[in-house]
Amino acid sequence: MRNEEVLNQSPPISGTNAWRTDPLLMQLCEGYSEPVRKDLEQLGRFVRTQEAQELARLANTETPVFKPYDRYGYRVDLVEYHPAYHALMRRSVGAGLHSSIWEDGESEKGQRHQSRAARFYLTAQLECGHLCPLTMTNAALAALMSNPALFRAWAPRVITRKYDSSSKPAAQKQGVTLGMGMTEKQGGTDVRANTTRAEPAGEGLYRLNGHKWFMSAPMSDGFLVLAQAAEGLSCFLLPRLTDDGATNGLRFQRLKDKLGNRSNASAEVEFDGALGYLVGEPGAGVRTIMDMVTLTRLDCALASAGLMRAALAEAVHHARHRRVFGKVLVEQPLMNRVLADLALDVAAATALAFRLARSFDGAANDRSEAAYARVMTPVTKYWVCKIAPAVIYEAMECLGGNGYVEEAPLARYYREAPVNAIWEGSGNVMALDVLRVLSRNAGLFDDVLKGMAEDLGAAGRGTVDVLMAAMRVCESDEGAGRILTEQLALAAAAAELKRLGAGQVADAFIETRLAGQWRGTYGMLDARHDAAAILDMLYPEVS
């Protein structure tokens, strides 16, 4: 007997609008110009279309393929991507995700980081792998500013907003992207242990020999790499191809078989006399890449916040259309509280990531914003990225078996979630960065804590006292660095929710995260907090 009648399955979420159904995002973007908000409206609609969802699926199931040789046996070192990947890249490059903070348009003046953050956050809800080369391209220009001649040569090719996937010398392309290769087998995060050597080759060029253990987006047109020069660890720009179209001594060994981020290729590479340009001062490689790293860390937080939003939106959508034990699932008390509890962390993570973007826009003209950007970049990256796997897993559990299968996007989100906590500095590296600021320029914390106290209101004084006590502990106990980092993140997120006037959302977050008991899982809201109201506020039902 065949049974083809389908009952009690939730409809697809496609056809809705990720911008219109996100009141918190719309509030965060209230001060944006009309052209930017119009772009966000269109992008929010696009990421929820069936066509876009299918591009995301295909880009991750039809993964990149390494082609070391052509049909005649010549070494070509090419990586082939599925057309779906190129379609996503073309759309996001056209939206300026790789370059808009470097452009001169009036519509985003004073809000370039925040406007880009909103586009990045929405796009992350669709597909994150293709965002990796766009993040690196955007951030690499910050490092190139330390070599004005290189910046003048490469920046105009980046900001064309034209995606050109052809394998040609950079000067012959309509648009270019930039990648990076920092870590090696023996050192990982400890880049000072790098063994790749750079020797002067005349005319301002260096010849590099060595390897990199991870080089993401290997079809980028140029790569920022660290290598040991006579003066010490230095930063170099290596074009992938020479001016005559030959490979520039980059020998890709294989592509990494990664847990997630599958649409984006990551390669192991050996340098065999690769020619590169010095970026920054000789021996100042780490200092040269720090502005770049700061930008990539913001993107890690934005992408993780977007992933969590997408995962929880799927869970809420499912719960509103599924009936269990005689009730709509979202009306079951336990499920309602799980979803609301998750929504608090997703809202807090989103608010915190956008607060960091705002500090980037204000840092040049406001000392307190500059202090916030320096202190809170590692803090935000640490907490937002670290909670993503747990949030996305719990959202998956809300769908049960329907969430665990590959046809649903939850599996892809879950595989994607760990990478942002690992890339550009793992949790311990972020905590060490916070401790570095504490030891070298503790005064920066004064402005940050003052702002938090003002935004938190009545809860501010006690929170600041706890943070200052944690700072004192860290002065003599490096192992307490994660405690301080997490407490800073929770306090800053709570402060931003209060500043935004988030009402019940802010109050529930403060009581359960800053003043609550130790929590190991989600669903720990008690009856004092209106779980249904919190959920409806952050995830309004689509009529």
Residue 339 to residue 531: CA distance in whole angstroms = 8
Distances in Å between the Cα of 271 and the Cα atoms of 57, 76, 238, 240 are 34, 14, 10, 11
Q: Are 79 and 265 in contact (CB under 8 A)?
A: yes
User: Is a pLDDT exceeding 60 seen at residue 163?
Assistant: yes
Q: What angle do CA 21, 26, 27 make, to 5 degrees?
A: 130
Residue 277 to residue 84: CA distance in whole angstroms = 34
Q: Which residues of 377-389 are buried (b: 16+ CB within 10 A; e: fewer)?
A: bbbbbbbbbbbbb
User: Is a pLDDT exceeding 90 seen at residue 483?
Assistant: yes
Q: Are 93 and 162 in contact (CB under 8 A)?
A: yes
Grade residue 364 by pLDDT with cuts at 50, 70 and 90. Answer: very high
pLDDT number for residue 374: 98
Grade residue 520 by pLDDT with cuts at 50, 70 and 90. Answer: confident
Mean pLDDT within 314-339: 97
Mean pLDDT within 38-55: 98
Grade residue 519 by pLDDT with cuts at 50, 70 and 90. Answer: confident
Candidates 410, 416, 401; CA nearest to 313 is 410
pLDDT number for residue 106: 86
pLDDT number for residue 97: 98
Q: Tokens for 88?
A: 């996503």
Which stretch of DSSP H or E encloses residue 304? helix 285-321
User: Is a pLDDT exceeding 70 seen at residue 507?
Assistant: yes
Q: 271: which strand partners?
A: 210, 250
pLDDT digits 0-9 by tens, 522-537: 998 989 999 999 999 9
Lowest-pLDDT range of 107-111, 131-135, 370-374, 517-521: 517-521
Q: 212: which strand partners?
A: 269
Candidates 151, 132, 313; CA nearest to 237 is 151
Q: What angle do CA 159, 309, 304 make, to 5 degrees?
A: 55
User: Is a pLDDT exceeding 60 seen at residue 1?
Assistant: no
pLDDT digits 0-9 by tens, 71-90: 999 999 999 999 999 999 99
Residue 330 to residue 332: CA distance in whole angstroms = 6
Residue 118 to residue 107: CA distance in whole angstroms = 14
CB neighbour class for 318 (10 Å; exposed up to 12, middle 13-18, buried from 19): buried
Strand 232-239 to strand 250-255: parallel, antiparallel, or no bridges (unpaired)? unpaired
Residue 266 to residue 249: CA distance in whole angstroms = 18
Mean pLDDT within 182-194: 89
User: Is a pLDDT exceeding 90 seen at residue 320?
Assistant: yes
Query: If you average pLDDT over every residue of the chain, what do you get?
Result: 96
Helix, strand, coil percent content, the chain, rounded in steps of 5? 55, 15, 30
pLDDT number for residue 518: 66
Q: Are 260 and 127 in contact (CB under 8 A)?
A: no
pLDDT digits 0-9 by tens, 196-250: 999 999 988 999 999 999 998 999 999 999 999 999 999 999 999 999 999 999 9
Grade residue 297 by pLDDT with cuts at 50, 70 and 90. Answer: very high
User: Is a pLDDT exceeding 90 seen at residue 516?
Assistant: no
Mean pLDDT within 261-281: 98
Mean pLDDT within 40-50: 98
pLDDT number for residue 150: 96
Mean pLDDT within 156-182: 97
Mean pLDDT within 374-396: 98
Grade residue 190 by pLDDT with cuts at 50, 70 and 90. Answer: confident
Strand 222-229 to strand 178-181: parallel, antiparallel, or no bridges (unpaired)? parallel
pLDDT digits 0-9 by tens, 424-442: 999 999 999 999 999 999 9
Q: What percent of the chain has pLDDT over 90?
A: 93
pLDDT number for residue 503: 94
Cα pseudo-dihedral 30, 34, 40, 43, rounded to 10? 170
Mean pLDDT within 454-470: 93
